[in-house]
């Protein structure tokens, strides 16, 4: 009985400890948050800093380097990012390959504009004031320091690796993104361009797919490279490097392992502990042998 009580206690403790690791322990918000709200949309969540939890630190220290190398390897001398079609993922039809917690990392971009990024799920392409669909109100950076950004004083609020939680997603759930060019300047409704991952939703009409999506080698993320100009815009260059973001879905099974996993682990650890105690003379018997 002693062992059973201890066993349950240890298991509960370990589950609680391990679950703590899955709960975001980051501070309430990053030092600087863009306050622009194009189209009156609300934010999905506040931007979190790139060292806010284990997953973001891993992204910043390991995955980000792979992404940057991948982009470099697939950027032409002229500066255009391109990937063979057979390696691309169709952003218009992308659905979550696993159930889990989704987040979007800011990776970077070459553009000096202050584009906004948003997202929706399923076939919801509506953008009504107050809808919490903004991911990064101002997706711009100077790489090193955050500076405040509002529609009147545009700054550079992000650093690569900063992220926004989208929350739980179900297996097979469709995830759409949209880009609002210079959205941080809060263009008037009707003036704001909208480039959706489903080009049929673009405003004004533009058949171009403005997002190129791919899973870079050595990563577990879906990278989106964006082209922010209308295909008929005189400044259109089709380089798909105006904004890079990465979608990561942390599988629910990995985030919160089944209790049975811990039971097996704890049993093994206790077994090893008992063996070690038995190997040491003058020590008390372990509880397993007493029960």
The residue ranges that bind Ca ion (CB under 5 A) are: 227, 237, 239, 242
Classify strands 243-251 and 100-108 as parallel, antiparallel or unpaired. antiparallel
Q: Cα–Cα distances in Å, from 197 out to 66, 90, 192?
A: 24, 9, 16
For residue 156, what are the contacts with CB-CB under 8 A and spacing of at least 6?
138, 140, 141, 142, 145, 146, 147, 149
Task: Work out how close the CB of 199 gets to Ca ion at its nearest, in angstroms, rounded to a whole number.
Answer: 16
* Smaller CB separation from Ca ion, 165 or 242: 242
Q: How far is CA 145 from the centre of its chain?
A: 20
Task: Work out how close the CB of 236 gets to Ca ion at its nearest, in angstroms, rounded to a whole number.
Answer: 7
* Smaller CB separation from Ca ion, 146 or 210: 210
For residue 81, what are the contacts with CB-CB under 8 A and spacing of at least 6?
71, 74, 75, 212, 225, 239, 240, 241
* Smaller CB separation from Ca ion, 44 or 214: 214
Task: Work out how close the CB of 197 gets to Ca ion at its nearest, in angstroms, rounded to a whole number.
Answer: 17
Task: Work out how close the CB of 82 gets to Ca ion at its nearest, in angstroms, rounded to a whole number.
Answer: 12
Task: Work out how close the CB of 239 gets to Ca ion at its nearest, in angstroms, rounded to a whole number.
Answer: 4
Q: In what order do the strands lie in the sheet with 221-226?
A: 88-89, 211-214, 221-226, 243-251, 100-108, 163-169
156 neighbors 141 (Cβ within 8 angstroms): yes
* Smaller CB separation from Ca ion, 185 or 242: 242
* Smaller CB separation from Ca ion, 220 or 237: 237
Task: Work out how close the CB of 195 gets to Ca ion at its nearest, in angstroms, rounded to a whole number.
Answer: 11
* Smaller CB separation from Ca ion, 124 or 233: 233
Task: Work out how close the CB of 111 gets to Ca ion at its nearest, in angstroms, rounded to a whole number.
Answer: 7
In the chain, where does DSSP find H-type helix?
2-22, 54-58, 64-73, 252-255, 259-279, 287-290
Cα four-point dihedral sign 84, 90, 91, 92: positive
* Smaller CB separation from Ca ion, 206 or 239: 239
243 neighbors 115 (Cβ within 8 angstroms): yes
């Amino acid at each position: 009985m002693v062992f059973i009580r201890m066993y349950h206690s240890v298991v509960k403790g370990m589950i609680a400890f391990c679950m703590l690791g899955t709960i975001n322990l980051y501070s309430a918000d990053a030092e600087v948050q863009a306050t622009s709200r194009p189209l009156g949309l609300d934010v999905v969540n506040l931007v979190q800093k790139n060292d806010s939890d284990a997953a973001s630190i891993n992204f910043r220290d390991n995955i980000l380097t792979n992404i940057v190398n991948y982009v470099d390897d697939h950027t032409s001398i002229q500066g255009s990012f391109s990937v063979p079609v057979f390696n691309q993922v169709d952003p218009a039809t992308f659905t979550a390959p696993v159930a889990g917690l989704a987040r979007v990392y800011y990776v970077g971009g070459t553009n000096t504009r202050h584009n906004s990024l948003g997202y929706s799920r399923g076939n919801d392409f509506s953008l009504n004031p107050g809808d919490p669909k903004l991911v990064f109100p101002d997706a711009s950076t100077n790489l090193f320091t955050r500076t405040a950004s509002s529609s009147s004083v545009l700054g550079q609020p992000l650093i690569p690796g900063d992220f926004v939680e989208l929350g739980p997603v179900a297996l097979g759930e469709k995830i759409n993104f949209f880009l609002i060019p210079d959205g941080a300047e809060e263009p008037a409704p009707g003036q704001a361009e909208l480039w959706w991952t489903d080009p049929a939703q673009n405003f004004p009409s533009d058949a171009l797919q403005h997002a190129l999506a791919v899973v870079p080698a050595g990563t577990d993320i879906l990278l989106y490279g964006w082209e922010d100009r209308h295909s008929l815009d005189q400044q259109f260059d089709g380089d798909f490097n105006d904004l890079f973001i990465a979608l990561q879905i942390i599988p629910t099974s990995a985030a919160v392992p089944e209790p049975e996993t811990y039971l097996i682990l704890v049993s093994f650890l206790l077994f090893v502990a008992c063996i070690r105690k038995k190997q040491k003379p003058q020590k008390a018997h372990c509880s397993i042998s007493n029960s």
